[in-house]
Each structure stands twice: as C-alpha cells, then as structure tokens.
Structure 1
Amino acid sequence: MPMPMSNVAPNADLHCHSNISDGTLSPEDVAARAHRNGVTLWSLTDHDEIGGQHRARAAAAALGMDYLTGTEISVTFLHKTVHIVGLGFDADDAQLQQGLADTRGGRERRARDMADELAKAGIPNAFEGALKYVGNPDLISRTHFARYIVETGRCADPHEVFRRYLAEGKPGFVPHRWASLKDAVHWITEAGGIAVIAHPGRYDFTPNEEYALFSEFKNHGGRGVEVVTGSHTVPEYQEYADMAREFDLLASRGSDFHDPTESHTDLGTLPELPARLTPVWEALTERVLRA
C-alpha cells in the first residue's frame, strides 16, 4: 500500500535499465546493486516496457527500498528521438500497456534495416549478432548492435560504436518514428503518474527548439525534468535547474544506469539536486510503494 515518506531526503535513483530492455542485469540484480550503493528510493525505467515492474517492486521491497513504478518512452519531436520518463503510474493500466506495445512494434523492422546498412559498411550478420544481447526481442536497439560490434573487435567500447556507426549521419543509423510527445505524456498522466523529460542535455537542440520542447511538454501536462543525471555534465545540472524553475517543473534525479562496465555513472552515486527545486518524489508521496 502507498504510504507517506519520511522527512529525510531519499537517495533517489529514478532512471535505470534492466535486461527487460537494453540493460544487462535482471531487475533483481539492478535492485541489489542500487541497494548496495545506498539507494533508498528506486525506479526501474526500461525503454517502452513495463513488463519488469512487478519483479522490480518485489525486489525493492525485499531489500527495504521504497519504489516508484517507471518507464522511459521514446517519442519523436522535431525529427529527433526524445525520451520521456514516467514515474508513479499504475503498471496495470491498459491504455499505457497498449501504447507501449505499439511503440515497440517498429523496432524489429528498424533493426533489420540497420543490419542491412551495417553490412554495406563491412559488418555482416549484425542482426543475428545483436540478438545474442537482447533480453526481450521486441526491444532490440542500437545498444545491442553496439555490444555485438565491440565483440567483433571493430571498436573498443559501445561509445566508439555509436560515434563511428550508429549516430545520426553514420553508416548504420536508421531513423524510427516513435510515439508522439502528446501521447506519451497522456499515457503516463492518465495512468496516475508524472511525466518527466529525460536527460534534456543529450538532444542537441537549438535554444529555440529546446524551448519548444519544454513548452509543448508542459502544455500536454508534463510536470518534471531530469536535472541531475548520468547523461549531464556538472554545468548542465545548473542549466536544467534553471529550466525547471523557469517552467515551474519538478526536478528528477537518475543515473541512467545500463551495465556495470558500460555506464558512466553507477546507481546511487549522483550528487543531490541543486537548491530551490521541488523534487519529483515530493509530488508522488502517495504513489511511493513503501518497503
């Protein structure tokens, strides 16, 4: 049952991934790692998927961590892929489940097209290679291709793979049309949760484009933004704290952890949110699932 949180600020990590999407650890192992690193409020936010939520919740409870349901939805905005994190929703909501299923639907076709392009660049059998790294075949992604290409010895790590082959304009990049921003925000909010712009510093928008993203997001009912995240630099913490204040948005915090060796930031190791922000978890007190 949801219960009020204590007055002590939690060590919250509200953005990470398991092998239900493109992480490498099971939900239970992600929970255990978060707990070892001192996380007290946790959310598993797999890409376009909530199939691991009940397992994550049970693992968190067994370890004594408070839990918020989570997901990370891929949306297309101004011809770029943007991610919207949902927190504190009903994981059994039928509309949210169907929306995420529809969003996942185009991934296999995109993956086969990526494999065709990589073959032209001299990397054969990439689709089959990527499948070895997929916990959920419906969620095959660029990350799985990157792990396979590292295995072939062509690149030292997944970051090099993205730079050389999988980023926009590179030989293996294939665009995909995801959910609309409006739909993603509505699925989350109508399921009782709060929508959050994930790692806004990653999208390489112009200032006008970024302002349009924040404005449209808020107009659709979005309420939060990730300020402190493993995808941001220290100066960006302050930049997006300022954006949160300007747009009157709640502030979130999450490592974006995927794997013990690949991820820049481990679970639970981020600094606290900057001052004069309202943490997103304060607005979700009644949605927190207590240990």
Structure 2
Amino acid sequence: MIFDLHSHTNCSDGSLSPTELVNLAAEAGVDVLAITDHDSITAWQQLELRTAQPLQVIPALEFSTQWRKTGVHILGLNVDIHSEALQAGVRFQQHARRLRAERIAEKLQQAGFHDALAGATAVAGNDNLGRPHFAQHLVNIGAVNNFKQAFKKYLGAGKPGDIKQCWADIPQIVAWIRDAGGTAVLAHPVKYDLTRTKLVALVDDFIAAGGQGMEVVSGKQMPNITRDLAIICQQKQLLASCGSDFHQPGQPWAELGRFPALPEQCQPVWQHW
C-alpha cells in the first residue's frame, strides 16, 4: 500500500481543491492520503460533505512554529478534527497567520510595494495567507521574475518578509495534536537548513515536548538523506512517516505517491493507529 501523509490543497498554499487532490492521488495509486494544509482543517470539512472517497483520507494538518529562530513545521496526523483542543489551536494559528501577513505587508510596503496584503489575499482566494501568496503577488506585479527570486530578495530566511515570531511554540502545538488523539510528526527535517548537530538537537527538543514521529521521506530525496534520517529516527525511537509534500501538478520532486519507501528498520507511523 502507498501512504502519502503530506499534501496540500487550495485551502492553504496548494493549487487543487480537496476533491481534485483526492482524485489525483487515487489516479496516482495512493491508497491512504493525509491532507496537511497549513494551520487549517477546511479541506477535511469540505470532504466530509461527500459521502464517499476513492481512497482513504486521514484527517490531518501542518502547524507552523519556531525553534531557535528557525521556522519549522509539525504535522498532526490522524487527528479528531472535531476536537475542541484542535479547533482552539487552529483558531490561534489562523489569528497568528493573519497578524503575520499584515506584518509581511508592512515590510513590503517599506520596500516600496503598496497594497501587498490585498494582492496576496487575491492570490490566495481564502484567509490562509502565507509567503507563497505574497511571492506570487510580487511576480504578478512584475517586481520579480519568479518565486525563487521573490524569496531570495524579500521573503526568504533573514529577508524583510520573513516573519516568524507569531506562532504557538512546539510544546503547545504537540499538546493540541495529542489532545485531539493525533500523532505529532516533525515535517521534512532536512528542509530547515540545519547542521546535523542542530537537527538532532531539534529532534531532542521535539521529543521532550511530546513529539512522536518524524518524516523520514519527503518527496524525492537522495538515498543518503533517507538513510541518515532513518538512523536518527531509529536511535530516537520515533515513528517514521513519509509523504510527497504535494502542492501542485508539474513539480516532479513532490509528486503524489512518488517517493522512496521507508527503510525496513523504521516503524511506520500508521502502525501506531
């Protein structure tokens, strides 16, 4: 069976509707899909209105937080969407996300870009604003040529639009997930540009906060990365997860269901459910 436990819809920063995503995942041969929109459960709420799905969909989401001034993400997998703890967490994060968007817009205005908040909101089509929406706005107005340039000049780490200090901390996020009966998983650990020593320190702090798992496979990645993450996962006795981190079609590094299998020594997170 193919488990893809990390994907996004247009309820956050993906391009497909929840129904379109589920149908595409089924066509790709995925058996179990987790929709992990950023600080949002809207996609799941939309799917609940349908009586049947072509595959098994796991209720989930991806929380934003910060560790030692580095933005990190934590997946809440197999959560009770109707849990008051989880819904309180979503409300907190959505408020923080709005404040963050306003601060990003202020920074961009100082850089000479007016009406950035309105532009990003128009791109998003919803209230779940993030840096990708501001990046697309900058592309749309001709300020930059592409996403990469937008992040390199204005929105990436250390740039004016890199606002992080709005989120709940790791222990609070893990508590929300676990109170909702879910499994707290550290998402795509190698994407944080940390040294291995700092990555292990992050993992240790995550475990101390009650974290239960780690993404050993995130999209197409080099075999040596998978092996090393599997070693850390096993040494720390964490559950192992895997996913594409799909956002939109046409990204070969993040195709639904197209990523390496978990190494044999890993204990898959779904065996915990």
For 1:147-158, list aligned pairs within 5 A. Answer: 147-158=136-147
| Pairing of 1:173-188 with structure 2 (within 5 A) | 173-188=162-177
Three-state SS of the structure 1 residue aligned to 2:123 is coil
Instruction: Give me the CA root mean square deviation.
Output: 2.0
Tell me the secondary structure at the aligned position of residue 68 of structure 1. strand
Structure 2: tracts of 5 or more residues without a match: none
Normalised TM-score (structure 2)? 0.92
Asked whether 1:116 is paired with 2:106, we answer yes
Q: Secondary structure at the match of 2:254?
A: coil
Indicate if the aligned counterparts of 1:244 and 1:250 stay in contact, CA closer than 8 A: yes
Equivalent residue runs for 1:154-233 within 5 Å:
154-230=143-219, 232-233=221-222
Partners in 2 of 1:59 and 1:235 — Cα distance? 41
For residue 240 of structure 2, what is the aligned residue in structure 1?
A: 251
Pair 1:229–1:266, CA change in 2 (3 A):
same
Contact 1:199 / 1:231 at 8 angstroms: preserved in 2? no
d(CA) in 1 for partners of 2:193, 2:10:
28
Amino acid at match of 1:48: D
Q: Does 1:86 align with 2:76?
A: yes
Normalising by structure 1, what TM-score? 0.87
Instruction: Please tell me the residue identity of whatever aligns with 1:69.
Output: P
Q: List gaps (5 residues or longer) in structure 1.
A: 1-9, 285-291
The letter for the 2-side match of 1:16 is: S
Relative to structure 1, the CA distance from residue 172 to residue 89 in structure 2 (aligned partners, 3 Å threshold; closer, same or farther) is: closer
Distance 2:145 2:47 in 1: 32
Letter in 1 for 2:184: A
- 1:41 is aligned to 2:32: yes
Q: Is the 8 A contact 2:220 2:260 kept in 1?
A: no
| Structure 1 residue 164: Cα displacement | 2.1
Matched AA of 2:88: Q
In the alignment, is the contact (CA less than 8 A) between 2:28 and 2:256 conserved in 1?
yes
Q: How many Å apart are 1:124 and its aligned residue? A: 3.0
Give the residue type in structure 1 aligned to 2:70: K
Q: 1:160 to 1:56 in 2, by over 3 A?
A: farther
Are residues 1:16 and 2:7 paired?
yes
Distance 1:263 1:57 in 2: 30
Q: CA deviation at 1:60?
A: 9.3
Q: Is the 8 A contact 1:37 1:267 kept in 2?
A: yes
Amino acid of the residue matched to residue 180 of structure 1?
D
Are the structure 2 counterparts of residues 238 and 80 from structure 1 closer, same or farther at C-alpha, using a change threshold of 3 Å? same
From 1, 17, 23, the counterpart of 1:32: 23
Structure 1 residues 136 and 160, CA, compared in 2 at 3 Å: closer, same or farther? same
Q: How far apart are the structure 1 equivalents of 2:96 and 2:252? A: 26
Post-superposition offset of 1:251: 0.9
Q: Which has the higher contact order (CA 8 A, sep 6+)?
A: 1
What is the 5 A alignment of 1:60-71?
A: 61-63=52-54, 65-71=55-61
Q: Which amino acid aligns with 1:78?
A: R
- Structure 1 residues 272, 207: CA separation in 2 closer, same or farther (over 3 Å shift)? closer
- Aligned AA (2:75): V
- Counterpart contact for 1:44–1:53, Cα < 8 Å: yes
Contact 1:251 1:280 in 2 (8 A): yes
- Give, in angstroms, the shift of residue 33 of structure 1: 1.2
Distance 1:232 1:262 in 2: 13
